[in-house]
């Protein structure tokens, strides 16, 4: 086995590979960009080498820098993870030319599957079922239109070098073909440098079912059963599961045989995934699935297959890479239970799943292990305190659950998603929680159009609980903090000997200011709107009751921010310091705060300027888009608390207005 392994990747997959390497006694080398200087994968590795600036083209895609890092550290092998250079045959050849081992398939296998049209012709010759269509080299528009007529509408136009839905168009009528072809070619050229396309019959209720395969250098090839990846948004996977719902032994045998033959046809070695499309409208049948493509690497969703087989795929990759035969035969493998994986991202669902950034001020998962078997497993490349930057994929974690059957695994998924807590950035956790309860998904009736059909309900954010501001104010004033030991004085926060002490707490929420007022009696009872309010605390969980309604939230207060979780949603309230805000922000009239993390690119006002409601004041760039923040009312600028070029976080106060004066 290797003594030292370089991981040519970042984030959760780099940390995941390091976990197996450490267990096997292999020292690890991380490579990193300047933006990732303090990233978790860097802190986890035995050694780390800086390879370039933040941009991936100048760091994680620089083969020469990665090879130089391997040479300087004495690494004997390179694991590519997924993405970046993992399916680049030139990189594989460069690794081998440097006398190192590439943990993955040979360059010839990657090339064979690199172009969809050539791969499908190869699969046809190998006897693997392929979706009816045109996969030839002739790209004349008139000829392609004629092929679409032959295949029969609706058809899919696909960029032959495509992936992730780029360069793909659904065409339902011949009259729309020319326009769709032009768009697919343009996108294929922009994304992959290749405008060529192929034509396929469109399956009306498509299911995405893929087979995990492993091959060694001794001619042994096996499949490790299937995964269903049909829950997709714009061709991006959201929740994956194994095994596929509705799968029969006959279909599994046929699909597994096809996947093995596909791997044999290209002389494969290592871990790979053969992706099939099936017609969900008629159920899974031995003659109702077709080859789509092969991913010549480890998949993002490999943990669900590890869960149902009990195997460590990275360990098997490493053993195959050093020339060992596969440690199992097909008859040794069996499915154990059911598993799901949900991808947790920093993204704003309400804004069309716009990627988000921010510092992870709170991050917790329920009773989870990392990179190890168990009912709940979390694979993540970040920890609390880390920052999601705009430079890379905004994945926070993969939430993996395992149960004895699909219903029990699904219950574990919904329960786990409900208890994930992320503060400091917006996430898709509420969307995932609602999706896990979607009736068709719960019943196993899945296809790739399920999310789109129910998007309005799935993306609808729940209203914030009515007493959320009160809970935030109580948390930020320390009234919800647990008592410290048996010290009686720690329970006298807000004490007065008689009457009701009035407490006013100025807050900022989603860029708007508000003041929460409540009373506190001598015995510690909270009074709001003239009535007593019951407040019960159990750890971070807070229950507020009044007028027959109850609000239950988890409240975490840190650094002047209260992060509230509950009902599949989260929100953040910032304590407004009077010295910073220059006045009471009641009603949101005096404060201009950042509605999201970003960089200040324009300041349009100065102290003393008179502004009218709606006047532009600050320009904020977030995720490569500019947002103009405007005056909430007529007034005079009291303070400008930022400068151009400054990075700000969600809720940071940027500008304040002089407080209004009552006549």
Cβ–Cβ under 8 Å, residues 639 and 607? yes
Specify the 3-state DSSP secondary structure of 501: strand
E strand or H helix at 148, and its extent?
helix 141-151
Burial 60-79, CB ≥16 within 10 A → b, else e: bbbbebbbebbeebebbbbb
Cβ–Cβ under 8 Å, residues 270 and 105? yes
Q: For residues 575 and 297, what is the distance between their CA atoms, to the nearest angstrom?
A: 47
In degrees, rounded to 5, the angle at the alpha carbon of residue 158 between the alpha carbons of residues 131 and 449 is 75
Which residue of the set 10, 160, 297, 343 is catalytic?
Answer: 297
In degrees, rounded to 5, the angle at the alpha carbon of residue 541 between the alpha carbons of residues 540 and 546 is 135
Cβ–Cβ under 8 Å, residues 574 and 593? yes
Q: Which two tokens stand for residue 224?
A: 């490790």
Specify the 3-state DSSP secondary structure of 151: helix
659: DSSP letter: P
In degrees, rounded to 5, the angle at the alpha carbon of residue 172 between the alpha carbons of residues 169 and 173 is 115
Is 475 exposed, middle or buried, given 0-12, 13-18 or 19+ CB atoms closer than 10 A?
buried
The residues, any chain, with a CB within 8 Å of residue 525's CB and separated by 6 or more, are 532, 533
Cβ–Cβ under 8 Å, residues 396 and 426? no
Cβ–Cβ under 8 Å, residues 181 and 197? yes
- Phi first, then psi, for residue 490 (nearest 5°) are -70, -10
Spell out where 443-590 has E strands.
500-509, 512-521, 526-528, 531-538, 541-546, 549-558, 561-566, 569-575
State the angle between helix axes of 116-125 and 249-265 in degrees (0 to 180), rounded to the nearest 10.
110
Cα–Cα distances in angstroms (integers) from residue 185 to residues 22, 139, 143, 154, 385, in the given order: 45, 10, 15, 18, 43
Is 501 exposed, middle or buried, given 0-12, 13-18 or 19+ CB atoms closer than 10 A?
middle
Q: Which two tokens stand for residue 45?
A: 């590795």
Residue 297 annotated among the catalytic residues of the structure: yes
Q: Which residues are catalytic?
A: 297
């Amino acid at each position: 086995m290797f003594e030292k392994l370089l991981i040519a990747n970042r984030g959760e997959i780099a940390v995941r590979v390091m976990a197996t390497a450490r267990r096997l006694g292999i020292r690890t080398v991380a490579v990193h960009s300047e933006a990732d200087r303090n990233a978790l994968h860097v802190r986890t590795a035995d050694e780390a080498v800086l390879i370039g600036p933040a941009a991936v083209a100048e760091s994680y895609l620089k083969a020469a820098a990665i090879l130089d890092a391997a040479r300087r550290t004495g690494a004997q092998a390179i694991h590519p993870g997924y993405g970046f250079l993992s399916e680049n045959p030139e990189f594989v050849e460069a690794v081998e030319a440097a006398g190192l081992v590439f943990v993955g398939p040979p360059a010839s296998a990657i090339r064979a599957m690199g172009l969809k049209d050539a791969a499908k012709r190869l699969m046809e010759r190998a006897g693997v079922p392929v979706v009816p269509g045109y996969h030839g080299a002739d790209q004349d528009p008139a000829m392609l239109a004629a092929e679409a007529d032959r295949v029969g509408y609706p058809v899919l136009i696909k960029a032959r070098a495509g992936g992730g839905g780029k360069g793909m168009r659904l065409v339902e009528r011949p009259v729309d073909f020319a326009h769709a072809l032009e768009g697919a070619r343009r996108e294929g050229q922009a994304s992959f440098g290749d405008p060529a396309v192929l034509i396929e019959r469109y399956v009306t209720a498509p299911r995405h079912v893929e087979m995990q395969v492993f091959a060694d250098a001794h001619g042994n090839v096996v499949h490790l059963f299937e995964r269903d990846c049909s829950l997709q948004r714009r061709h991006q996977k959201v929740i994956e599961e194994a095994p596929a719902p509705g799968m029969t032994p006959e279909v599994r045998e046929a699909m597994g045989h096809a996947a093995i033959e596909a791997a044999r046809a290209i002389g494969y070695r290592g871990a790979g995934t053969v992706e099939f499309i099936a017609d969900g409208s008629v159920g899974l049948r031995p003659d109702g699935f077709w080859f789509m493509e092969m991913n010549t690497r480890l998949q993002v969703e490999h943990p669900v297959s590890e869960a149902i087989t009990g195997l460590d795929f990275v360990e098997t990759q490493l053993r195959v890479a050093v020339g060992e035969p596969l440690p199992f035969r097909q008859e040794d493998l069996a499915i154990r239970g059911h598993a799901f994986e949900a991808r947790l991202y920093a993204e704003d669902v309400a804004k069309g799943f716009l990627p988000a950034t921010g510092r992870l001020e709170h991050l917790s998962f329920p009773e989870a292990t990392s990179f190890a078997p168990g009912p709940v497993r979390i694979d993540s490349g970040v920890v609390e305190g880390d920052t999601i930057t705009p430079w890379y994929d905004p994945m926070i974690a993969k939430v993996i659950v395992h149960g004895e059957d699909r219903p029990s695994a699904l219950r574990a998924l919904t329960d786990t998603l409900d208890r994930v807590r992320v503060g400091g950035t917006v996430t898709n956790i509420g969307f995932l929680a609602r999706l896990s309860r979607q009736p068709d998904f719960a019943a196993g009736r899945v296809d790739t159009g399920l999310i789109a059909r129910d998007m309005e309900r799935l993306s609808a954010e729940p209203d914030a609980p009515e007493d959320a501001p009160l809970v935030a104010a109580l948390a930020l004033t320390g009234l919800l903090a647990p008592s410290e030991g048996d010290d009686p004085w720690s329970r006298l926060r807000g004490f007065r000997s008689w009457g009701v002490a009035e407490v006013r707490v100025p807050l900022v929420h989603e860029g708007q200011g508000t003041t929460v007022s409540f009373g506190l009696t001598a015995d510690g009872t909270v009074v709001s709107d003239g009535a007593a309010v019951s407040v019960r605390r159990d750890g971070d969980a807070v229950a507020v009751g009044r007028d027959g309604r109850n609000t239950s939230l988890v409240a975490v207060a840190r650094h002047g921010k209260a992060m509230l979780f509950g009902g599949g949603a989260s929100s953040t309230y910032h304590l407004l310091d009077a010295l910073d805000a220059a006045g009471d922000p009641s009603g949101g009239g005096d404060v201009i705060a950042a509605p999201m993390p970003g960089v200040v690119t324009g300041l349009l006002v100065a102290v003393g300027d008179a502004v009218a409601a709606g006047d532009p004041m600050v320009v904020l760039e977030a995720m490569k888009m500019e947002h103009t923040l405007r005056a909430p009312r007529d007034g005079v600028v009291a303070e400008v608390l930022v400068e151009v070029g400054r990075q700000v976080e969600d809720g940071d106060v940027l500008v304040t207005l002089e407080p209004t004066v009552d006549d």
